[in-house]
Structure 1
Amino acid sequence: MIKLCKVSLNVKMLFLIFFLFFLKSFGQINELKEIGFDKVELKTKSDTIVFIRSINRDNTTKPTIIFLQGSLPLPIVFKDKEEFFTLFPFKTAEYLDKYNLILIARKGIPLLGEFQRDANGYKDANGYVPLEYIKYDNLTYRVLQTREVLNFLYKQKWVDKKAIYVVGHSEGYRVAAKLSENNKKITKLVCMSADPFNRSTEEILKYRLDSYTQSNDSISQNAINDITKNFLSIGKIEEYKKDADLYNWSSYNSELTFNSFKKFNNPILVIYGTNDLTAFHNDLLLFLLKDKRDFFVKAYPDYDHNFFKKEFDEDGNLVEDSYNWDTVFRDTVNWLETGKLD
């Protein structure tokens, strides 16, 4: 009897755990559906990739936009009080009927996060960024992850194979560019708000500007020399896999991103704000790629890295910055559809 009681208790406990897990998962699925999205788990031989897609009830064939976010360890769905929203930085409502919108979760980060707690980056119960995220936080994995999703989408009846668009912002700029190399499945490529060389050149520019404003040219030059030396010393990045931080650094610095554009034969659009120091070198792209067909660059004066613009009242006093992601993305979609820029 005692054994039977223990077994019965264990079964009840397992059922309770399963039931609570089911309720939690079911709740998240319903919450996602309320804002127009479904959760998808893509299982490969060695990985499970989670992403959300906009609901397509009739599996109608539509153009598809894969949006690649930046570098922070953020959930891709947030709860703020009783409201839910995705990590897409633009309002998705006007695109849900016409497009399949895709957003891939970062490895090791929960799909759903609390906005007040996680908006600056998710941390576990001990206050640390999850080790799984750190391990997979590199260009190599992000490209492999996105390629798996792209290959999956390409096989779906609800995806228009002639209209698959990849849009990368910040770190996603580099992921999108690398993914595009010799890739015939991508119809058009959009890269936003990052340096077209690498992270090292971003640092060099900051030091150089500091030397002009703070009269510390010798100190800045020494720092620049060190950055350049480190870049030139990068070997095969696989050699650094045992050190996650070094692997991350080398994966994003070993190559110059703009070279990826040379290996993509379809139209490319590069977008950046002129008040974004990390994107400064995009001014040079039309010089570097002057012979490339269907290559477009659009600068937004006074916009920063996330397309905020400083605003002033009639007396010249600074007021709340305006948020312009919706404008920028509307322009992006117009280019995807027509090939034209205003």
Structure 2
Amino acid sequence: MNHIIYITMFLLSKTFAFAQKIPEDFGYRHIKMKYLDDPVNIIVISKPGEEKIAKPLFLFCQGSLPQPVVKYDETGLYGTLPFDETPFLDEFHIVIIGKPFVPIISNVNKLGKNYMFFKDKEHEIPPKGYIDRNYLDYYVFRNNSILKQLFKERWVKTNQLLVAGHSEGSTVAVKMASLNKKITHLIYSGGNPYGRITSILEQSRSQETESLPQGQKVVEHWKNIVANPTQIQYDGGDTFKATYSFSLPQRDNLMQLKIPVLITYGTEDWSVAYNDLFQIEAIQQHKRNITFKSYVGLEHNYFPKNEHGEIIEEEYNWDKVAGDWMDWLTK
């Protein structure tokens, strides 16, 4: 009898160890809201014990991949943000809004490459609901709608609102700020004020040879996209609609902002020339509300490269970048 009890308890404990976790297991709040008729999952990170204390919000806009916000395995939690969020929690509640129709939390063993969530794992195709909604204006209007709803909560102070985005998230963040007057501070990280397609073209030019005119292929692809800007394909690649929307320059929206703006980027990023150009133009326009911070020798995600152009993943610089964000905020 004792053996049966022991075996049962062992099986139960083993099952629990591999059971699906929830965000609360890691100290996060999981809030469910609606945008139009779509379910929206939100993660809120607060300083332990201060979840109900009224603080301003810091909304971080995710990058381009259909990843769950919270990822873990049997050893524990993966980084929810690319940087250590602890220094920000004294002053802010951090908010991350999940990708549409992508689980808010997942064991990484259930995910595909780059921790992406695929409905069809074999062919690397995300859920149709995600593909249909993966374009700029959806994220912009959804996020601003969610912020409006969150502003009704007692634990939210409405006198300040920081929005930051990296990579694709930077484009979402700046267009949000151009429409939402409640946003008081903007951090634009690893973006391209002249649009996604220029970064793709720049990267292709660096890799082309006379026999492999990669740049011209990008130009021809762009012609097809412009001719069909709302087309959605379900082959797992970027849709024409997504590429077109994220390629629309945000240069004018950035230039017209009156709030404090911080622009950060690595000098080995494919978009460096466009950020440098925008900085020249901002100086010419006497834009004193925009601060630029470049990181010499670092690529798109703030990693250095070796002499072969390979990323040195051991040298992680995100915490330094976030520290500079905090310094800018306090000043």
TM-score, normalised to structure 1, is 0.78
Counterpart of 1:161 (choices 158, 162, 185) is: 158
Q: 1:160 to 1:310 in 2, by over 3 A?
A: same
Aligned to 2:45: 54
Residues 75, 87 of structure 1: 8 Å contact kept: no
Q: CA offset at residue 277 of structure 1?
A: 1.4
Q: Please, what is the CA RMSD of the aligned residues?
A: 2.8
Partner of 1:293: 288
Which runs of 5 or more structure 1 residues have no equivalent in the other structure? Answer: 1-23, 313-317
* Mapped pair 1:65 → 2:71: no
Cα 1:50–1:58 change in 2 (3 A) is closer
User: 1:323 aligns to what SS in structure 2?
Assistant: coil
Cα gap change, 1:131 to 1:250, in 2 (>3 Å): same
1:256: how far off?
0.9
Alignment of 1:129-278 (within 5 A): 129-210=126-207, 214-215=209-210, 219=213, 222-223=216-217, 225-226=219-220, 229-230=223-224, 233=226, 240=230, 245-253=239-247, 255-278=248-271
Structure 2 gap ranges (5+): 1-18
- 1:298-313 equivalences under 5 Å are 298-310=293-305
Shift of 1:125: 6.1
Secondary structure, counterpart of 1:181 in structure 2: helix
Cα shift at 1:228? 6.0
How many angstroms does 1:324 deviate by?
0.7
Contact 1:182 1:263 in 2 (8 A): no
Rounded to whole Å, the distance in 1 between the matches of 2:282 and 2:233 is: 35
Shift of 1:88: 0.7
Report the secondary structure of 1:60's partner residue: coil
| SS of residue matched to 2:298 | coil
SS of the residue 1:173 aligns to: helix
Larger Rg computed on CA atoms: 1
Return closer, same or farther for 1:258/1:215 CA change in 2, 3 Å cut-off.
same
Equivalent residue letter for 1:152: Q
State the alpha-carbon separation in 1 of the partners of residues 301 and 215 from structure 2: 29
CA distances 1:157-208 after superposition (whole Å, capped 9, x unpaired): 3223222100000000111111111421111111111221112111222233
- Paired residues of 2:120 and 2:126 also in contact (CA < 8 A): no
Verify the 8 A CA contact 2:144 2:180 in the aligned structure 1.
no
Q: CA deviation at 1:321?
A: 3.2
Matched, 1:39 2:34: no
SS of the residue 2:26 aligns to? helix
Distance 1:260 1:325, change over 3 A: same
Q: 1:221 to 1:28 in 2, by over 3 A?
A: closer
**Aligned pair 1:330/2:323, yes or no?**
yes
Give 1 or 2: higher helix fraction: 1
What amino acid maps onto 2:241 in structure 1? Y
Q: Tell me how far 1:229 sits from its aligned partner.
A: 4.1
Mean CA deviation greater in 297-306 or 221-230: 221-230
Contact 2:303 2:312 (8 Å CA) reproduced: no
